[in-house]
């Protein structure tokens, strides 16, 4: 068995992993990326539409372009890259941690490191997760799987499509399927508002005259061998209106019903997870409950822009380098999700530094305000022109904001939206 | 007669109301900023979209990392009504490898000023 030792090993070679590894290298730490696919880039490779990179590269790029630009940055450094290698086991021992990787070209590799960066991304929720009743025919795909089939493999998964869920991948796929000559008959959303970005509703649905059924539940998938249709039932005042159910004939169902951080390895390493994000609980350095194990990107919480993933992962990489050099936060303040906030990440802030906090709203509102409260006292209010659950928000917690934390034994910062 | 539009310039999603004046110009209300007016004018007078798609690779390799499609995009937004024809021409392409990111696969498509570019490097 090949055995190699680095200061840090990054699990996952997508946008987060590449950004974290590059920061580690820049800070003088030896570092490796382990990626199970044959090439770096993660999900970006199949996201052939544009809209990426406005923050990171100051121009609008497609997913493959963004991935290649990131990869070029990594290739120009001392970062070791293992592609086609899957991490099967993590031993997160206190001093030296070990990862056991399986690779078709190298066999089993053991990578030792003082720090591990979790950057495994997320995966799609599927039919089982949302329990759609009915038959079990062929033709039911998650939207991301269909995206891979169409954009990478070059297969057309069906001709007459219904998209369940109005997440962005589903909307993007509604347009993609239309552009390859398929007919998209409907997008069905259980909530009274769409989960995707407004601009995607316009560009991907309105442009093609695709109806969006809000407050509608898919109550049955119909078909013996292949999908023949879906039964849709309106929801009025919280109740299913079975007498108003109707069937949309189709041969293909695409599911765009949310993403879940992929934390199997994290659990293996003994990392504590946050039930609101399904990602690790992390401190102000983005370190998990297991010392020396860090997390960033979609494995930590699902982001809606890759630019934010990179921003967070760069910070994680820099923090890991600081940690490897012996820096530890002195005293931290707990960060709590206040009214109308679904979650905050990270869960702790360092009052001696500036902190970046990401959060998601529970409500849709224009002209909203975000309140920072330290020990129940409002220290600052930030105006937000528009908030909605599908758009991640961020706030900078500065040293000045957190000044009143000192002198308090267990300081608490609460972020609230109104 | 007024038309309703949702501005997609930023995430605010302003609901615009647009009326055509007698001289052919537009009167826009409901916008929270100047970009809403520009969006409404482009959207009603000359709507355009960025187009992304994939083109066939002439001899896809074998093995785990074999790729049969190369992703492409337009260099600038394409007029909405021409997108169907543009896509047909992209799907009719056969791209020989190697291909470099940014390489022009179709130059100045039908004199429109729109180029079709590869968005991925394939050796």
Is A153 at the interface with chain B, CB within 8 A?
Answer: yes
- Return the pLDDT at A202: 87
Instruction: Choose, out of A13, A46, A48, the residue to mutate when testing the contact with B (most B CBs < 10 Å).
Output: A48
Taking an 8 Å cut-off on Cβ atoms, the answer to whether B53 and A48 are in contact is yes
- Return the pLDDT at A336: 95
Which residue in the set B52, B56, B64 is minimally distant from A50, CB to CB?
A: B52
Is B33 at the interface with chain A, CB within 8 A?
Answer: no
Assign a CATH topology to domain B49-118.
CPE0013-like fold (3.10.530)
Taking an 8 Å cut-off on Cβ atoms, the answer to whether B11 and A153 are in contact is no
3-state secondary structure of A156: coil
How far is residue A205 from each of residues A133, A212, A401, B45, measured CA to CA in Å?
A: 26, 8, 43, 20
**Which of A204, A82, A233, A203 is closest to A143 using CA atoms?**
A204
pLDDT tens for the 418 residues of chain A, in order = 899 999 999 999 999 999 999 999 999 999 999 999 999 999 999 999 998 998 899 988 999 999 999 999 999 899 999 999 999 999 999 999 999 999 998 899 999 999 999 999 999 999 999 999 999 999 999 999 999 999 998 899 999 999 999 989 999 999 999 999 999 999 999 999 888 888 888 889 999 999 999 999 999 999 999 999 999 999 999 999 999 999 999 999 999 999 999 999 999 999 999 999 999 999 999 999 999 999 999 999 999 889 999 999 999 999 999 999 999 988 899 999 999 999 999 999 999 999 999 999 999 898 899 999 999 999 999 999 888 888 899 999 999 999 988 888 889 999 999 9
Which residue in the set A62, A104, A202 is minimally distant from B73, CB to CB?
A: A62
Spell out which residues of chain B touch residue A201, defining contact as CB-CB under 8 Å: 6
* Closest CA of chain A from B41, distance in Å: 16
Taking an 8 Å cut-off on Cβ atoms, the answer to whether A62 and B52 are in contact is yes
Are the beta carbons of A297 and A116 closer than 8 angstroms?
no
- CA–CA separation, A286 vs A294, rounded Å? 6
- Give residue B71's Cα distance to chain centre: 14
Reply yes or no: is the peptide bond before residue A346 cis, omega within 30 of 0: yes
Is A389 at the interface with chain B, CB within 8 A?
Answer: no
Is A75 at the interface with chain B, CB within 8 A?
Answer: no
> Residues 79..108 of B with a Cβ closer than 8 Å to A: which?
80, 83, 87, 101
- Return the pLDDT at A4: 96
3-state secondary structure of A299: helix
Token pair, residue A231, equals 């039964």
What are the beta bridge partners of residue A248?
A230
Long-range contacts at A129-134 (CB < 8 A, ≥ 24 apart): A129/A257, A129/A258, A129/A260, A130/A255, A130/A257, A132/A164, A132/A218, A132/A219, A132/A220, A132/A221, A133/A219, A133/A220, A133/A221, A134/A219, A134/A220, A134/A221, A134/A222, A134/A230, A134/A231
Are the beta carbons of A110 and A2 closer than 8 angstroms?
yes
The size of the A-B interface in CB pairs under 8 A is 75
Is A398 at the interface with chain B, CB within 8 A?
Answer: no
> Residues 274..293 of A with a Cβ closer than 8 Å to B: which?
none
DSSP state of A155: -
Taking an 8 Å cut-off on Cβ atoms, the answer to whether A179 and B87 are in contact is yes
ipTM: 0.89
The answer for residues whose C-beta is within 8 angstroms of residue A314's C-beta and 6 or more apart is A19, A20, A22, A23
Count of other CB atoms within 10 angstroms of residue A20? 35
Are the beta carbons of A362 and A341 closer than 8 angstroms?
yes
Q: Is residue A39 left, alpha or beta, with left meaning phi > 0 and alpha meaning psi from -120 to 50?
A: beta
- Give residue A60's Cα distance to chain centre: 20
Characterize the bridge pairing of strands A333-337 and A412-417.
parallel
Please indicate whether residue B58 or residue B10 has the higher confidence score (pLDDT): B58
- Return the pLDDT at B44: 87
Spell out which residues of chain B touch residue A366, defining contact as CB-CB under 8 Å: 12
Q: Is residue A84 left, alpha or beta, with left meaning phi > 0 and alpha meaning psi from -120 to 50?
A: left
Count of other CB atoms within 10 angstroms of residue B3? 13
* φ, ψ at A58 (rounded to 5°): 60, 25
- Return the pLDDT at B11: 61
Which residue in the set A50, A151, A391 is minimally distant from B11, CB to CB?
A: A391
- Return the pLDDT at A325: 97
Q: Is residue B65 predicted with pLDDT exceeding 70?
A: no
* Closest CA of chain A from B22, distance in Å: 27
Is B12 at the interface with chain A, CB within 8 A?
Answer: yes
Which chain B residue has the Cα nearest residue A84? B64
Tell me what the pLDDT averaged over chain B comes to.
90
**Which of A138, A172, A161 is closest to A63 using CA atoms?**
A172
- CA–CA separation, A238 vs A217, rounded Å? 11
- Return the pLDDT at A407: 80
- Return the pLDDT at A389: 87
Instruction: Choose, out of A62, A361, A386, the residue to mutate when testing the contact with B (most B CBs < 10 Å).
Output: A62
Is B51 at the interface with chain A, CB within 8 A?
Answer: yes
Token pair, residue B21, equals 């004046």
For chain A, list the domains and their CATH numbers: 1-124+259-328 (3.50.50.60), 126-257 (3.50.50.60), 331-418 (2.60.40)
Spell out which residues of chain B touch residue A39, defining contact as CB-CB under 8 Å: 65
- Domain spans of chain B, in order of start: 2-45, 49-118
* Closest CA of chain B from A345, distance in Å: 22
Is B67 at the interface with chain A, CB within 8 A?
Answer: yes
Q: Is residue B1 predicted with pLDDT exceeding 70?
A: no
* Closest CA of chain A from B27, distance in Å: 21
Token pair, residue A213, equals 């059924």
Locate all alpha helices (DSSP H) within A116-243, ordered by sequence.
Answer: 127-130, 143-148, 168-179, 198-200
What's the CA dihedral at A235, A239, A242, A244 to 10 degrees?
-40
How far is residue A71 from each of residues A24, A37, A275, A296, measured CA to CA in Å?
A: 15, 14, 33, 18
Reported as a pLDDT band with limits 50, 70 and 90, residue B64 is low
- CA–CA separation, A379 vs A85, rounded Å? 48
Taking an 8 Å cut-off on Cβ atoms, the answer to whether B71 and A48 are in contact is yes
Spell out which residues of chain B touch residue A64, defining contact as CB-CB under 8 Å: 71, 101, 119-120
Is A78 at the interface with chain B, CB within 8 A?
Answer: no
Instruction: Choose, out of A47, A50, A60, A65, the residue to mutate when testing the contact with B (most B CBs < 10 Å).
Output: A65
Taking an 8 Å cut-off on Cβ atoms, the answer to whether B64 and A104 are in contact is yes
The answer for residues whose C-beta is within 8 angstroms of residue A336's C-beta and 6 or more apart is A344, A412, A413, A414, A415
DSSP state of A284: T
Condensed to tens digits (0 to 9), the pLDDT of residues B12-28 reads 678 899 998 888 888 99
- Return the pLDDT at A327: 95
Are the beta carbons of A278 and A285 closer than 8 angstroms?
no
- CA–CA separation, A308 vs A317, rounded Å? 14
How far is residue A388 from each of residues A340, A341, B18, measured CA to CA in Å?
A: 10, 10, 26
Characterize the bridge pairing of strands A85-91 and A97-103.
antiparallel
- Return the pLDDT at B5: 87
Condensed to tens digits (0 to 9), the pLDDT of residues B79-90 reads 999 999 999 999
Counting residues of chain B whose pLDDT is more than 90, the rounded percentage is 54
């Amino acid at each position: 068995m090949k055995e190699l030792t680095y200061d840090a090993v990054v699990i996952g070679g997508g946008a987060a992993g590449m950004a974290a590894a590059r920061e580690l290298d820049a800070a003088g730490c030896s570092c490796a990326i382990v990626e199970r696919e044959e090439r770096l880039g993660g999900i970006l490779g199949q996201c052939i539409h544009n809209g990426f990179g406005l923050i990171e590269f100051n121009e609008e790029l497609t997913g493959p372009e963004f991935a290649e630009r990131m990869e070029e940055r990594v290739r120009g450094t001392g970062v070791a890259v293992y592609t086609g290698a899957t991490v099967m086991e993590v031993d997160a021992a206190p001093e030296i941690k070990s990862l056991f990787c399986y690779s078709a070209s190298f066999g089993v590799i053991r990578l030792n490191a003082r720090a591990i960066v979790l950057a495994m991304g997320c995966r799609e929720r599927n039919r089982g997760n949302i329990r759609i009743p009915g038959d079990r025919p062929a033709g039911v795909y998650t939207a991301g799987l269909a995206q891979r089939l169409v954009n990478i493999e070059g297969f057309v998964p069906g001709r007459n499509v219904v998209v369940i869920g109005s997440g962005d991948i589903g909307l993007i796929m509604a347009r993609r399927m239309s552009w390859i000559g398929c007919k998209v008959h409907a997008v069905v959303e259980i909530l009274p508002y769409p989960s995707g970005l407004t601009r995607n509703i316009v560009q991907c649905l309105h442009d093609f005259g695709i109806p969006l059924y809000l407050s509608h539940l898919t109550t049955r998938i119909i078909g013996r061998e292949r999908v023949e249709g879906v039964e849709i039932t309106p929801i009025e005042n919280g109740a299913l209106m079975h007498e108003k159910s109707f069937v949309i004939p189709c041969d293909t169902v695409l599911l765009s019903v949310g993403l879940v951080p992929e934390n199997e390895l994290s659990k293996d390493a003994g990392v504590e997870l946050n039930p609101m994000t399904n990602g690790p609980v992390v401190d102000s350095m983005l370190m998990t409950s297991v010392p020396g194990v860090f997390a960033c990107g979609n494995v930590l919480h699902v982001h809606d822009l890759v630019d934010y993933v990179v921003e967070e992962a760069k910070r994680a990489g820099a923090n890991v380098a600081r940690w490897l050099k012996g820096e530890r936060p002195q005293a931290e303040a707990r960060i709590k999700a206040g009214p109308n906030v679904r979650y905050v990440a990270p869960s702790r802030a360092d009052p001696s530094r500036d902190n970046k906090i990401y959060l998601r709203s529970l409500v849709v509102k224009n002209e909203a305000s975000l309140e920072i409260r330290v020990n129940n006292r409002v220290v600052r209010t930030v105006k937000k022109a528009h908030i909605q659950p599908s758009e991640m928000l961020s706030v900078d917690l500065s040293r000045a904001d957190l000044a009143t934390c000192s002198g308090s034994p267990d300081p608490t910062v609460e972020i609230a939206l109104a | 007669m007024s038309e309703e539009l949702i501005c997609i310039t930023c995430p605010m999603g302003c609901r615009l109301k647009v009326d055509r004046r007698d001289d052919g110009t537009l009167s826009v209300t409901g916008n929270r900023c100047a970009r809403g007016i520009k969006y409404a004018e482009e959207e009603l007078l000359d709507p355009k979209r960025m187009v992304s798609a994939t083109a066939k690779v002439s001899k896809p390799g074998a093995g785990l990392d074999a790729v049969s499609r190369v992703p492409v995009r337009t260099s600038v937004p394409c007029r909405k009504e021409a997108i169907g024809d543009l896509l047909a021409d992209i799907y009719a392409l056969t791209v020989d490898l190697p291909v470099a990111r940014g390489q022009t696969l179709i130059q100045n498509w039908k004199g429109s000023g729109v180029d079709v570019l590869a968005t991925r490097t394939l050796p």
